[in-house]
Amino acid sequence: MRFDIITLFPELLRAFMASGVIRRAFDGGLLQVHLWNPREYAGGNYRRVDDRPFGGGPGMVMLAEPLWQCLSAIRAHRQQDRKQAPLLYFSPLGEALNHERVKAWSQLTGGAVLLCGRYEGIDQRFIDAHVDAQISLGDFVLSGGEIPAMALLDAIARLMPGVLQDPDSHVSESFNPSMNGLLDFPHYTRPEVWQGDPVPKALLSGNHAHIQAWRRAQSLALSQRYRPDLVVAARTAQQLSPQDEADLLKLVPIQPN
């Protein structure tokens, strides 16, 4: 799957692609990433990529022309138009990323072109003419689209077979349908007692069914505590068993401080 990333800071993406488990996705060619710097498509001695906003105000705005030149070079290199490889722009006004949307983006067979903004953003005329979808990382403002691009690529890479060493790893993660959309259960490793705090007994029982039941109950408890909306959604989708409902009833309500 090919992604072309338009960024003024390609070195940020390079460091990201060379580290951690998702490096396998890039090294193995499952994810092909091409980095494009609009500065190389900017004219003049100074290769200007930004200018002051019409109407005044603080900050700078990314120029449409170098972006257009850069996008044209990408389209020529891919020999694909926007239907085969849409242009996704990271922006606070986009739809916030979540598991479902990551899954949908991971199914784009032709991949996509990702546009990382900087400064106050991008000349609106370029967005109107060429952007196919806008993606937000959440209701806060970052100084560039590179972190959202990394977040999207990282989350897509984790879903690709062969990237996580254990193919079951992502199946038991938060938000996955096999978890009925609930949060992941808590994890423990050695030592068995750490600073006087022992690992829950159920995990040492060696009884697989018992461990599964304990993990499910914990997953429910964490979801109920931190994301009660996920429990409501699972109930509405009839994904809670009578045992789940019984486990939920046993939870002690959290007292407000």
Q: Which residues bind ligand SAH (CB under 6 A)?
A: 90-92, 116-118, 120-122, 136-138, 140-145, 148
Question: What minimum distance in Å lies between the beta carbon of 3 and ligand SAH?
Answer: 16
Question: What minimum distance in Å lies between the beta carbon of 104 and ligand SAH?
Answer: 17
CB nearer to ligand SAH: pick between 110 and 138: 138
Residue for token digits 């546009």?
115
| DSSP 8-state code for residue 139 | S
> Tokens standing for 145?
């689209």
Q: Which residues contact 74 (CB under 8 A, 6 or more apart)?
A: 4, 6, 34, 36, 113
> Tokens standing for 228?
């009660």
Question: What minimum distance in Å lies between the beta carbon of 97 and ligand SAH?
Answer: 8
Question: What minimum distance in Å lies between the beta carbon of 137 and ligand SAH?
Answer: 4
Question: What minimum distance in Å lies between the beta carbon of 139 and ligand SAH?
Answer: 7
Distance CA 246, CA 244 (A): 5
Q: Which residues on adjacent β-strands are paired with residue 5?
A: 35, 114
In the complex, which residue's CB is closest to ligand SAH?
Answer: 117
- Secondary structure class of 142 (helix, strand, coil): coil
Radius of gyration over alpha carbons of the chain, in Å?
Answer: 23
Question: What minimum distance in Å lies between the beta carbon of 22 and ligand SAH?
Answer: 19
* Torsion sign across C-alpha atoms 16, 17, 18, 19: positive
Angle at 236 between CA 235 and CA 241, to 5 degrees: 30
Long-range contacts of 186-190 (CB under 8 A, 24+ apart): 186/218, 186/222
Distance CA 73, CA 63 (A): 16
CB nearer to ligand SAH: pick between 94 and 233: 94
CB nearer to ligand SAH: pick between 65 and 94: 94
Instruction: Answer for the pair 147, 137: CB distance below 8 angstroms, yes or no.
Output: yes
Question: What minimum distance in Å lies between the beta carbon of 115 and ligand SAH?
Answer: 7
CB nearer to ligand SAH: pick between 10 and 92: 92
CB nearer to ligand SAH: pick between 25 and 122: 122
CB nearer to ligand SAH: pick between 89 and 214: 89
CB nearer to ligand SAH: pick between 42 and 163: 42
Instruction: Answer for the pair 144, 150: CB distance below 8 angstroms, yes or no.
Output: no
